[in-house]
Amino acid sequence: MSRAAVIGGGISGIATAYYLQQYGLDVHLYESNSQLGGRIGSECIDGRWLDFGGKNIGRKYRRFREFVADLGEQDFEYFGFNTSQVIRGRVVRLNKEKARLYNLFRVLTLAGPVGILKLIPLIRAVHKDREQGFLNTPYFNAIADRFDHESLASFFPKSCAGHIIRPVTVRMNGAEPEECYPGNFGSNLALVLDSYEQLRCGMQGMLERFQAYVRSVTLFTGHHVQALECRNGKTVLHYTCGAESFQKEYSKVVVALPAVQAAELFRHSAPELSALLGQVQYYPVAVAIARYREEVFTDVQRAMVFDRSSPLSNAGAYGIRDLDIVRYTFSGKTARSMITRESDPDEVVSLGEKIVKPYFNIEKNSRTSFTYKYIWPGLCAYSPHHYRRLEKLDELIKPLKGLSLTGDYRRGASLEACFRAAAEAADLVKGGGLRGCSRIHKELCAGRDPDITV
């Protein structure tokens, strides 16, 4: 049986191993931590596994759902879209579940007429063709060519950037609108246009099933890959396990790491590739999950988004029935200036509580337990003209036979986009062409310009 190595045991590595197994390959999956998951990691509080990172699964996550179904029957629970926003001290409710017209009116007012005119063609492009909701697709590459000299903060009018765009970028990219670019915005819009569920057994349950499911995947947890070297059509992995160092040669290798970590592996063997990977932007995010004696939220108000003056970007109920569990997310510029890897977890949670106190039942409630994680690399904000960087990356990697790169910077950071990128990386190393070309991509390949209007 032909053998492949996958580096990174987050969802990108798991997805790659899953596809390579389907191609009949024997897979060695290297993960530096003692367990799989990476940024879909969970922690156990009061006997229940709670997810820190990616947990909301869009109804339109086709590949991810196929994977979950293959692992065996797993229940989903509705997560919904229910949030409010504090704007100049006033709470503005946005709720997809009720009062849809009223909420639509709210969004239109916040975006303003120019904002709406700029948003409509972008939304239409993703709505018409879901493929455009990934990174590196023809419609948004053309947008990048025209507009990536400016950030989303200047592309959209101020109110739209502050109240409509910022909650999206801070949540999905850990970044302010001035740190994100129009050419990558389709990957955000695809998520905004979806509605969400979560796994009843959580990501931990899914990871356990994955480990029971795989037959030709060998897990090497606690194995940290330090460098990669390509020689004579083979890739040599230099890795450590405990205090010992080893090396092993493979003819097929997929690097499934955040770009900033992948850059480290090529620092000496392929400096140009390493520098390019290092240009992809990541921002940290801190997440605290706290449980309270009584319900903090109500059925109709389950989450709140805060503006850029606050280090807390959002706080929400963990699940539709978990109104006593709050997930606090700290991301964006103010969070970065106040919270570091060294911050005291208890102080960070207390800060979150102080911020949400005027809006939810915290004052007379008491916290019974909590868990906290500072996540670095946290969220990917890509780069300006990102697709050109990806093209250059492919050019540099092409001569390195049997080597492929995947991760959240390839097709987007959602779990679905990680699966999409993993499927492509697996296709490449097993020797096939790319799958899943969109209508617009096919039009471009056939020499026609796709319909692009902004």
List interacting residues with ligand FAD (CB under 6 A): 7-13, 30-33, 38-40, 53-56, 224-225, 256-258, 261, 285, 287, 375, 378-379, 407-408, 413-415, 418
Task: For residue 76, report the phi and psi dihedrals to the nearest 5 degrees.
Answer: -110, 150
* Closest C-alpha among 266, 200, 175, 263 to residue 228: 266
Rank residues 51 and 129 by Cβ distance to ligand FAD and give the closer one: 51
Q: What distance in Å separates the CA atoms of residue 428 and residue 435, rounded to the nearest whole number?
A: 10
User: Rounded to the nearest whole angstrom, what is the least distance from the CB of residue 416 to ligand FAD in the complex?
Assistant: 6
User: Rounded to the nearest whole angstrom, what is the least distance from the CB of residue 258 to ligand FAD in the complex?
Assistant: 5
Rank residues 226 and 438 by Cβ distance to ligand FAD and give the closer one: 226
Q: Supply the DSSP string of 355-386, one letter for each residue.
A: HHTTTSTTTT--EEEEEEEEEEEEEEEE-TTH
Rank residues 81 and 443 by Cβ distance to ligand FAD and give the closer one: 81
Rank residues 285 and 390 by Cβ distance to ligand FAD and give the closer one: 285
* Closest C-alpha among 320, 376, 315, 304 to residue 97: 320
The 3-state DSSP class for residue 317 equals strand
Rank residues 265 and 323 by Cβ distance to ligand FAD and give the closer one: 265
User: Rounded to the nearest whole angstrom, what is the least distance from the CB of residue 151 to ligand FAD in the complex?
Assistant: 21
User: Rounded to the nearest whole angstrom, what is the least distance from the CB of residue 422 to ligand FAD in the complex?
Assistant: 9
User: Rounded to the nearest whole angstrom, what is the least distance from the CB of residue 149 to ligand FAD in the complex?
Assistant: 27
Rank residues 106 and 248 by Cβ distance to ligand FAD and give the closer one: 248
User: Rounded to the nearest whole angstrom, what is the least distance from the CB of residue 309 to ligand FAD in the complex?
Assistant: 21
First to last CA, the chain: 51
Q: What distance in Å separates the CA atoms of residue 353 and residue 360, rounded to the nearest whole number?
A: 9
User: Rounded to the nearest whole angstrom, what is the least distance from the CB of residue 136 to ligand FAD in the complex?
Assistant: 16
Rank residues 55 and 441 by Cβ distance to ligand FAD and give the closer one: 55
Rank residues 13 and 202 by Cβ distance to ligand FAD and give the closer one: 13
CA atoms within 13 Å, Cβ hemisphere of 38: 24
The 3-state DSSP class for residue 183 equals helix
Pairing of strands 76-78, 281-292: unpaired
- List C-alpha distances in Å: 117 to 156, 184, 280: 10, 18, 30
Q: What distance in Å separates the CA atoms of residue 137 and residue 187, rounded to the nearest whole number?
A: 10
User: Rounded to the nearest whole angstrom, what is the least distance from the CB of residue 237 to ligand FAD in the complex?
Assistant: 9
Rank residues 53 and 384 by Cβ distance to ligand FAD and give the closer one: 53
Other CB atoms within 10 Å distance of the CB of residue 327: 21
Rank residues 362 and 381 by Cβ distance to ligand FAD and give the closer one: 381
Q: Supply the DSSP string of 120-135, one letter for each residue.
A: HHHHHHHHH-GGGGSS
DSSP code of 10? B
User: Rounded to the nearest whole angstrom, what is the least distance from the CB of residue 391 to ligand FAD in the complex?
Assistant: 20
Query: Which single residue brings its beta carbon nearest to ligand FAD?
Result: 10
Rank residues 38 and 352 by Cβ distance to ligand FAD and give the closer one: 38
Q: What distance in Å separates the CA atoms of residue 143 and residue 304, rounded to the nearest whole number?
A: 31
Which residues are registered as beta bridge partners of 2?
Answer: none
Q: What distance in Å separates the CA atoms of residue 230 and residue 200, rounded to the nearest whole number?
A: 43
User: Rounded to the nearest whole angstrom, what is the least distance from the CB of residue 63 to ligand FAD in the complex?
Assistant: 11
Which strand (E) or helix (H) includes residue 306?
Answer: none
Q: Which residue has the tokens 């969970």?
A: 42
Would you say 61 and 414 are in contact if contact means Cβ atoms under 8 Å apart? yes
Give me Rg for the CA atoms of the chain: 22
Q: What tokens were used for 394? A: 């492919």
User: Rounded to the nearest whole angstrom, what is the least distance from the CB of residue 57 to ligand FAD in the complex?
Assistant: 7
User: Rounded to the nearest whole angstrom, what is the least distance from the CB of residue 64 to ligand FAD in the complex?
Assistant: 8
Would you say 289 and 42 are in contact if contact means Cβ atoms under 8 Å apart? no
Rank residues 39 and 163 by Cβ distance to ligand FAD and give the closer one: 39
Q: Which residue has the tokens 């492509």?
A: 424
